[in-house]
């Protein structure tokens, strides 16, 4: 079945998304490399091989999303897998140190414009792209939606005073991932009687641009759970939050 399947990965020009795209192509799917800068997507696609195709897609731009959906229909005629991977901790001037960026984490003085911009990509972008791609996914015999979330957005973990990483839970990024988990569940519930399965995964702490390469996991490790959930069979789960070790508490 894999041979004709088509997958779209947002933010696939680098980092975990690029690895997810490589792995899906390795599993025989045609993979669309969503990239807000087309040339970055083209370079990434070239590195993967003939199964990969660049597609311009800025998840915060309605026109870009609509054009991508139209192009997928006219050029590929189907979409089986959507991986909503694009995500940001915030857009800062190049070279802004990680410590400086963390200052935007305090809810007491984080600028609202900053918080909105993070939600725009990490939450509303996912909803907008999913809505635009759903007509294609509904036509697939086995539609799969995988949202790349984070255990840093787990309310259960962060509500526990003993949780060692709760100081990371701040104004924008982590709550945006909490909202992404909630959004995943909402789509899973609405689509539970269809062929579409919707799950959110955490890649773990992966060395990428997002954290100035401080993560201790490789992109290969970080991509694994997303790829697994993208390729689950008809008996696979929907409405779950997992990482490589199993269930993550909501
Ligand atoms: N790294 C970790 O430890 C970690 C942990 C938990 C969850 N995650 C999640 O994993 C996902 C991938 O992150 P990463 O670590 O691979 O980060 P990354 O290397 O910074 O990659 C992020 C990707 O998202 C793209 N992107 C950002 N805004 C976009 C927009 N408006 N439209 C389309 N694409 C956009 C970026 O494109 P440009 O190249 O154009 O900027 C890039 O391709 C994110 O959702 C992140 O929250 C990461």
Report how far residue 241's alpha carbon sits from residue 229's, in angstroms, rounded to the nearest whole number: 10
Of 187, 189, 195, 190, whose CA–CA distance to 232 is shortest?
Answer: 195
Q: How many whole angstroms from 119 Cα to the centroid of ligand 1?
A: 13
Active site residue 173: yes
Show the beta-strand stretches assigned E in the chain: 6-9, 30-35, 52-56, 81-84, 144-148, 197-201, 241-243, 246-247
pLDDT attached to residue 155: 98
pLDDT attached to residue 75: 97
Atom of ligand 1 at shortest distance to CA of 151?
6
pLDDT attached to residue 2: 47
Q: How many whole angstroms from 31 Cα to the centroid of ligand 1?
A: 17
Q: How many whole angstroms from 177 Cα to the centroid of ligand 1?
A: 12
Which CATH code fits 2-247?
A: 3.40.50.720
DSSP character for 104?
Answer: G
Report how far residue 161's alpha carbon sits from residue 164's, in angstroms, rounded to the nearest whole number: 8
pLDDT attached to residue 3: 60
Domain boundaries, the chain: 2-247
Burial track 145-170 (b if 16+ CB lie within 10 A, e otherwise): bbbbbbbbbbeebbeeeeeeeeeebb
Residue nearest ligand 1's atom 19 by CA? 15
Q: 114, 119, 173, 205: which one is catalytic? A: 173
Atom of ligand 1 at shortest distance to CA of 204?
5
pLDDT attached to residue 1: 47
Report how far residue 204's alpha carbon sits from residue 202's, in angstroms, rounded to the nearest whole number: 6
Mean pLDDT of residues grouped by 10 in the chain (250 residues)? 84 98 98 98 98 98 98 98 97 78 84 95 98 98 98 97 91 97 98 98 96 94 98 97 98
pLDDT attached to residue 96: 80
Task: For ligand 1, pick from 64, 82, 87 the residue to mutate: most ligand atoms within 8 Å of CB.
Answer: 87
Report how far residue 57's alpha carbon sits from residue 65's, in angstroms, rounded to the nearest whole number: 6
């Amino acid at each position: 079945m894999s041979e004709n399947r088509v997958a779209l990965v947002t933010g696939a020009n680098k980092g975990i998304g690029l690895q997810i795209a490589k792995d899906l192509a390795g599993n025989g799917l045609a993979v669309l490399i969503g990239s807000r800068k087309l040339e970055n997507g083209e370079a990434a696609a070239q590195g993967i091989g003939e199964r990969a195709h660049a597609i311009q897609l800025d998840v915060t731009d309605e026109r870009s999303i609509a054009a991508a959906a139209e192009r997928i229909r006219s050029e590929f005629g189907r979409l089986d897998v959507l991986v909503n991977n694009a995500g940001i901790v915030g857009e800062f001037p190049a070279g802004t140190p990680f410590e400086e960026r963390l200052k935007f984490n305090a809810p007491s003085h984080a600028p609202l414009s900053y918080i909105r911009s993070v939600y725009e990509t990490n939450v509303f972008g996912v909803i907008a792209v999913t809505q635009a791609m759903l007509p294609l996914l509904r036509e697939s015999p086995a539609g799969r939606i995988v949202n790349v979330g984070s255990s840093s957005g787990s309310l259960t973990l962060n509500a526990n005073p003993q949780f060692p990483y709760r100081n990371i839970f701040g104004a924008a990024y982590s709550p945006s991932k909490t909202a992404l988990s909630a959004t995943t569940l909402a789509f899973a519930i609405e689509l539970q009687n269809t062929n579409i399965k919707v799950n959110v995964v955490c890649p773990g702490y992966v060395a990428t641009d997002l954290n100035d390469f401080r993560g201790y996991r490789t992109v290969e490790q970080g991509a694994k759970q997303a790829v697994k959930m993208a390729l689950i069979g008809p008996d696979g789960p929907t409405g779950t939050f997992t990482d490589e070790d199993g269930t993550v508490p909501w």
